[in-house]
Amino acid sequence: MKARKFVDSVVVHVSGGDGGNGCVSFRREKYVPKGGPDGGDGGRGGHVIFRADRNADSLIALFFNPQQHAKDGGHGKGSRMHGRNGADLVIPVPCGTVITDVESGRILADLTDMGQETLVAKGGKGGLGNPHWQTSTHQTPFEHTDGEEGEQFSLRLDLKLLADVGLVGMPNAGKSSLLGAISNAHPKVGPYAFTTLNPIIGTVKVGDDFDARSYTVADIPGLVKGAHEGVGLGDHFLRHVERAACLAFVIDMAGSEGRDPVEDYEILRRELKLYRGDLVERPFLVVANKMDLPSAVENLPIFEKKTKLKAFKVSTVSGEGIERLKNRLLQMVRHEN
């Protein structure tokens, strides 16, 4: 089955529905000798509304259909029949979607909670029928007004994933394998760099089914030196760690392909700081991955001595340290010691 395209940024043009026109009409009844004006008002145009929906995980629907127009209001009719109001257009977007007006650059909404809504384009008012102009000296008015046009805007939608923990690491550090080992996610795993091309969220459960506690973990595509300037996959996905309450630096402690675990860690910290300084101030831990390999066992004490950090030893192959890591991340998410 072909993988679904992941889209986390898109520009859309939204327009509220136009209001219906007011009607010019007069009563024409057999036994009513002096019929009066009875044109109905036009209906309001529909509004455009964005609604956060946890069942949506990408902006792909808007990527392929960027023109969004709410329904127009109905025209007024005789016998003072009011035109129908246009139906509102409610567009589901993933939780974590930031909506920005393209022209002004102003952030209109940050939809983080399920069901949270924001009205982005109002429908036009309906026009008035000719009864509004009837007076004692103006019995047969032909005046009316057309409905107003709905508001129109170009908006940029940016998705910033909502996760409790963000996994960051160099390409091929084993983040995807780790996410698969600790959560219900099934990311693509391969022996080459940039296996993960899109952020992936998994839910981690700690405890048995009767007393399970859970939190979410996001696997961010691998970072390289210069990522904040667009190198590699660049800073395109760095936005997805902005909301994480804590971070886990996944280090290939085996030093595969001649890598230096200490240098990898320093690069990751530097890239996060250059992208957004406060990211390095968040609670974090270092995950020493691939501890089933002899070179990892040799490199670990050197790493801990140079960085003055105690790393969590794990192996997705042997299962070493996985449960301990899950519990420690839960403590960090819950701000427990």
- Model confidence at 195: pLDDT above 50: no
Give the pLDDT score at 196: 43
Is 198's pLDDT higher than 80?
A: no
Of 303, 217, 232, residue with least CA distance to 266: 303
For 290-299, the pLDDT digits (tens) are 999 999 999 9
* pLDDT at residue 228 is higher than 50: no
Quick one: average pLDDT of 315-324? 94
C-alpha pair distances (Å), 148 with each of 21, 46, 72, 142, 152: 8, 12, 10, 19, 12
Give the contacts of 183 (CB within 8 A, at least 6 positions apart): 202, 203, 204, 217
Q: Is 236 helix (H, G, I), strand (E, B) or coil?
A: helix
- Rounded distance between C-alpha atoms, residue 148 and residue 21, angstroms: 8
Q: In what order do the strands lie in the sheet with 9-15?
A: 67-69, 9-15, 152-159, 97-101, 107-111
- Tallying the residues shown for the chain, one arrives at 337
By the 8 A CB rule, do 172 and 222 touch?
Answer: yes
Give tens-digit pLDDT for 231-271.
444 456 677 888 898 999 999 999 988 889 999 999 999 98
Within the chain, residue ranges assigned H as helices are 60-64, 175-182, 261-275, 294-307, 322-333
- Smallest Cα–Cα separation from 174: which of 200, 206, 204, 196? 196
Residues 238, 280 contacting (CB under 8 angstroms):
no
Residue-wise pLDDT for 7-60, tens only, equals 788 999 999 999 999 999 998 777 665 678 999 999 999 999 999 998 888 898
Percent of the chain with pLDDT over 90: 63
Cβ atoms of residues 191 and 206 within 8 Å? no
Per-residue model confidence (pLDDT) at position 226: 53
Q: What is the mean pLDDT of residues 149-159?
A: 96
Half-sphere exposure of 331 (CA within 13 A, CB side): 10
Q: What is the DSSP letter of 228?
A: G
Closest listed residue to residue 166, CA positions, set 60, 58, 287: 287
Q: Kindly write down the DSSP assignment for every residue of 87-143, as one continuous string.
A: PPEEEEE-TTEEEEETTT--EEEEE-STT-EEEEEPPPPPPPPGGGG-BTTB-S---
Give dist(CA 203, CA 214) in Å, integer.
7
Tell me the whole-structure pTM to 2 decimals.
0.77
Q: Choose between 176 and 87: higher pLDDT.
A: 87
Is the pLDDT at 334 greater than 70, yes or no?
A: yes
pLDDT at 224 over 80: no
Q: How far apart are CA 210 and CA 205, in angstroms?
A: 11
What residues contact residue 181 under an 8 Å CB cut-off, 6+ apart?
314, 316, 319, 322
Residues 313-326: what's their mean pLDDT?
94
> Side by side, which strands form the sheet with 89-93?
89-93, 48-52, 117-121
Cβ–Cβ under 8 Å, residues 261 and 251: yes
DSSP secondary structure string, 238-278?
GGGGTT-SEEEEEEETT-GGG--HHHHHHHHHHHHHHH-GG
Q: Which domains does the chain have, with CATH numbers?
A: 1-159 (2.70.210.12), 165-333 (3.40.50.300)
